[in-house]
A and B are shown apart, each in its own frame.
Chain A
């Protein structure tokens, strides 16, 4: 049964990897700025989905309140910083260029916090599967933030 569930998840994972490719209706090319805001929305979604998962795990008794609190504090701050970032990106690449310093600062903050959390073992989750899930989530936040930086550099917003 466990093998069957793992296989199903693996299949879904492959589909997800394909789905993760950003594409446009009509097949026209996705611009770097479109990629940046799409990665940005993906970062928000990853953070949101795992926050929901963490709450579910706590309510099921898999992780205690204090550990849940520590993870959710991280996710709260990522959500707050990211909301600010989204507002800076809202007016398109030309306007965003004038906000480059603030944009770079928020992205660096998100990445730094995430890395410290992983490297310092700050998640504080003892259950191995929960720990793996949380580490994968935080790693995804770091990578997506880096993908936003790269796309914004290609769009000429960041140097």
Chain B
């Protein structure tokens, strides 16, 4: 399945998550005229998004009483108990 088809699949099942994702992806795929500036902007955007993801997950872990530092060491591929 190509990338566009996978985005469609995600949107079809993703509801509000999918709609928000579509809006963000639309912003990310509109580039300016200068290559260097585009590379810098996309890399900075990606790092900011990843840091936000990490911060949200840590905040959620605190909220539910889990150790916020644990995901870095945990193996997510371990079968569920």
Q: How far is the CB of A28 from chain B (nearest CB, A)?
A: 6
How many inter-chain contacts with C-beta < 8 Å in the A-B complex? 233
In the complex, A147 Cα to B47 Cα: how many Å? 18
Q: Does residue A101 face the partner (Cβ distance < 8 Å to B)?
A: no
Q: How far is the CB of B31 from chain A (nearest CB, A)?
A: 5
Chain A minimum-CB-distance residue to B81: A66
With known contacts A83-B50, A144-B3, A26–B33 Cβ distance under 8 A = yes
B16 neighbours in A (Cβ, 8 Å): 53
In the complex, A77 Cα to B14 Cα: how many Å? 22
A45 neighbours in B (Cβ, 8 Å): 21, 24-25, 28, 49
Q: Does residue A100 face the partner (Cβ distance < 8 Å to B)?
A: no
In the complex, A37 Cα to B49 Cα: how many Å? 13
Q: How far is the CB of B74 from chain A (nearest CB, A)?
A: 5
- Supply 21 A–B pairs (Cβ within 8 Å), ascending by A: A12-B11, A16-B7, A16-B8, A19-B25, A34-B35, A37-B42, A40-B46, A42-B28, A48-B56, A50-B17, A53-B15, A55-B56, A56-B17, A79-B53, A80-B50, A90-B39, A92-B36, A122-B79, A122-B80, A136-B9, A140-B10
A143 neighbours in B (Cβ, 8 Å): 1-3, 6
The reply to whether A65 and B56 form a contact with Cβ atoms under 8 Å apart is no
Chain B minimum-CB-distance residue to A72: B57
Q: How far is the CB of B73 from chain A (nearest CB, A)?
A: 10
Chain A interface size range:
35 or more
Q: Tell which of A25, A28, A37 has the most Cβ of chain B within 10 Å.
A: A37
Binding site of A, secondary structure by majority: helix, strand, loop or mixed? Answer: helix
Q: A82-B50, A136-B13 are in contact. List 14 more A-B contacts (CB 8 A).
A: A9-B19, A16-B11, A20-B7, A34-B31, A38-B42, A41-B43, A45-B28, A48-B50, A55-B56, A83-B46, A90-B40, A122-B77, A136-B6, A139-B9
The reply to whether A42 and B17 form a contact with Cβ atoms under 8 Å apart is no
With known contacts A12-B19, A37-B43, A20–B25 Cβ distance under 8 A = yes
The 0/1 profile, CB within 8 Å of B marked 1, for residues 7-40 of chain A is 0011011111101111111101011011001111
